[in-house]
Amino acid sequence: MSDWTIGIIGGSGLYAIDALEDAQWIPVQSPWGEPSDEILCGRIGHVRVRFLPRHGRGHRIAPSTLNSRANIDALKRAGCTDILAISAVGSLSEELPPGRFVTVDQFIDNTKGRPSSFYGDGFVAHVSMADPVCHRLSKHAAKSVAKAGGECSEGATYLAMEGPQFSTRAESRLYRHWGAEVIGMTGMPEARLAREAELPYALLAMVTDYDSWQANGEAVDVAQVIERMQQNSKLARKAIEAFCEDLPKKRSPSPIDRALADAVITAPDKHDRTVLAKLDAVAGRLFEGG
């Protein structure tokens, strides 16, 4: 086996990975609450894989009520070194038609009231989010889509909206004015939390529709999205398999592995021990002197 343990977060339409060998669902407890589901553990070739369906099997959890802290914490506890997230998105760009895949490289967070950090009173930390994804993983993800027979653009700004409703036409046009190129409901705070857990993170987005910005475009509806998701998900499964197969045998260190190195601002003698107990997975390296 290699040094990689890849956490795959499956988005809408992706609730299992057929290529996984020695697969078994394992419950993982988190002090941050209940993760979306058990974690499907197995391997693809030389890579250990930990798969978590973001909305739970059967898509039973709404975007606004996802416990992203528990999800990221559970994947860290399951031994993940890196995360590849898969998400269905709407397109805010003519260059990203339905059916196209795209790797996300920036985020605009327009969500409301979702817990967005592991850190607060008793242990304050400020990680850098200037470059919110792992470009190494993103490059591998784009290549894997091409190998699976799909088309993938590289680099897009993701607008994270609250949902669960789709955008009004005015909102969709506003987001384009902001510079957003794709829109979804789950990329944030997931990407923030992955960084706080020192997990390199990449988001591979599957375009299902044009959102609502086109003057003569149809309104987005669930039937349209589901139809496109079913088509995209078949290709996504192949891309995940190619992604794992093409990773190098040796995982070289990433700067993100030590994202907390200069992020903690609370003085050691002021650390809240109760808070530290909840951080044993996401920040345990700091307490062990790693």
H or E stretch including 89? strand 82-91
Taking the CA atoms of residue 230, residue 233, residue 235 and residue 239 in that order, the dihedral angle to the nearest 10 degrees is: 180
Half-sphere exposure of 274 (CA within 13 A, CB side): 3
Note if the bond before 253 is cis, omega within 30 degrees.
Answer: no
Contact between 263 and 171 under an 8 Å Cβ cutoff? The reply is no
Verify whether residue 211 is a known catalytic residue: yes
Q: Is the dihedral of CA 109, 114, 119, 122 positive or negative?
A: positive
Diameter over CA atoms, the chain: 61
Q: Is the dihedral of CA 72, 78, 82, 84 positive or negative?
A: negative
Q: How far apart are CA 83 and CA 81, in angstroms?
A: 7
Q: How far apart are CA 190 and CA 91, in angstroms?
A: 20
For 34-81, where are the E strands, in sequence order?
Answer: 39-44, 47-53
Length of the chain: 290
Active-site entry in 105, 209, 246, 262 = 209
Note if the bond before 189 is cis, omega within 30 degrees.
Answer: yes
276 phi and psi angles, rounded to 5 deg: -60, -35
Active-site entry in 211, 221, 246, 257 = 211
Positions marked active-site: 209, 211
